Amino acid sequence: MGASILDDLLMNIPDSSFPRVIIIGGGFAGVRLAKTLGNKDAQVVLLDKHNYHTFQPLLYQVSSSGLEPDSIAYPLRKILKKHKNSFFRLAEVKQINAEKNEVETSIGKLNYDYLVIATGTKTNFFGNTEVKANSMPMKNVPQALNIRSLILQNFEKAAIADTKEEQQAYLNFVIVGAGPTGVELSGAIAELKNHILPSEYHDLDSNDMKIHLLEGADRVLPPMSEHASKKAEEFLKDLGVQVHCNTLVEHYDGKTVTTNSDLELQSETLIWAAGVTGAPIEGLKAEALLEKVNRYKVNKFNQVEGYDNIFAIGDIALMETENYPKGHPQVAQPAIQQGKLLGKNLLKLVNNQLMEPFKYNDKGSMATIGRNKAVVDLKHYKFSGAFAWFVWMFVHLMSLVGFRNRVVTFFNWTYNYINFDKAARLIIRPFKK
């Protein structure tokens, strides 16, 4: 079942007596799968348009100057370096040709025996092209760095603004979407307001800085418990964040935010954290993709509907079960668990053994709002406050890939906690007045 000579020439992947498993995407699901298959009876080819894995739950800390990107990113080749039968190629997959068992990429074509789609999600603007053109999404490291630069640039512009109205627009920050990302980012920006602005921007009044969190549902953190939502909103208001529930953004031209209510805001910064949609790849049968959510329909073994040797895992996969009729939540744990089990199942397939069905083990959910402020939902326990914050820090610290990343992140968190400082306040994109 090995590779063809033509493949070798196209992408310089050596021939192998083992079946080739192509993994598209180096997120939580793809990396977990690659690690499970490492040095086993399979040749692994991992494809991604970036050469690093991103720990997305901490992207907001890059956006808000709490961490540098190298604290939450890890080279994919370093993950695979001890796996002699695993290869990484920096490439964007353009199309899948299932009839030929082939993927077409930006650097050539490659045949597979088994294909695993782990492309995750992309920002969902719900068809609002005006908001898409003028807002700032936060799904990857470059976008997070853009947000960081924008926030700091707007502080600088506010300091030299000609009018009070112009200054206010630079100091108005609007975050759309009160899920974990929006809540955590709002809290982090509020800490910039409360600790950095008063100490370093003496020519600005920190009371003029406003943070507005807009949510279409009737409460913040809709996926979490009522207890978590209530406590999170309390924490946000304590930090000075203005929370607007049942509020949808209808227009944003880069200056004015209009909503479905009478709320209208003048702001130079709108950060969109209101939802995601799947990132599918062209080429598979129409019935394999649920277009409304852009997720591949998979069975209990993560096989894409209509295919025996094509699988989807993580956020891009939708597996209907009794407990999750709309698919598993698009968070890290289902992706990691699916990647691990699929690795074992592919090895069983190679050895003509029966595969094991996937069963999600929900380990709970959590969100942090700021210093000593977090909420945690476990199966039988729900708690908040300082203890929840320490639990959140420990879980995220231990989940980072690489010992160095854990050490650097721990040092930064400790420094920030002691000094009420965010050390990564660097503007890295061109400044325009």
Residue 380: predicted pLDDT: 84
- Residue 247's domain is classified under what CATH number? 3.50.50.100
Whether 263 and 172 share a structural domain: yes
Whether 329 and 265 share a structural domain: no
Mean pLDDT of 295-310: 97
At 190-211, the pLDDT tens digits run: 999 999 999 999 999 999 999 9
Choose one of 299, 319, 350: the last residue of a domain. 350
- Residue 297's domain is classified under what CATH number? 3.50.50.60
For residue 107, the enclosing domain spans: 5-49+91-123+277-350
Residue 3 confidence class, pLDDT cut points 50, 70, 90: very low
d(C-alpha 74, C-alpha 312), whole Å: 23
At 51-71, the pLDDT tens digits run: 999 999 999 999 999 999 999
Residue 431: predicted pLDDT: 60
Instruction: Give the list of residues 6+ apart from residue 359 with CB closer than 8 angstroms, or none.
Output: none
Residue 291 confidence class, pLDDT cut points 50, 70, 90: confident
| 304 lies in some domain | yes
Mean pLDDT of 7-14: 68
Residue 154 confidence class, pLDDT cut points 50, 70, 90: very high
| 427 lies in some domain | no
Contact in structure between 62 and 69 (CB atoms under 8 Å): yes
Residue 268: predicted pLDDT: 96
Whether 229 and 180 share a structural domain: yes
Residue 5: predicted pLDDT: 47
Encoded tokens for 80: 């695979």
At 65-91, the pLDDT tens digits run: 999 999 999 999 999 999 999 999 999
At 225-277, the pLDDT tens digits run: 999 999 999 999 999 999 999 999 999 999 999 999 999 999 999 999 998 99
Decide if pLDDT at 423 tops 80.
no
Whether 255 and 142 share a structural domain: yes
Q: What is the DSSP string of 120-132?
A: -EEE--TT-HHHH
Residue 29 confidence class, pLDDT cut points 50, 70, 90: very high
Instruction: Return the closest-CA partner of residue 113 out of 224, 20, 189, 212.
Output: 20
Whether 183 and 238 share a structural domain: yes
At 156-183, the pLDDT tens digits run: 999 999 999 999 999 999 999 999 999 9
- Residue 92 appears among annotated catalytic residues: no
Residue 1: predicted pLDDT: 44
Strand order in the sheet with 93-97: 93-97, 102-105, 108-111
HSE toward the beta carbon, residue 89, CA cutoff 13 A? 23
Query: Annotated catalytic residue: which of 184, 191, 215, 233?
Result: 184
The per-residue pLDDT of the chain, averaged, comes to 93
Domains: count for the chain: 2
Decide if pLDDT at 327 tops 80.
yes
Residue 233: predicted pLDDT: 97
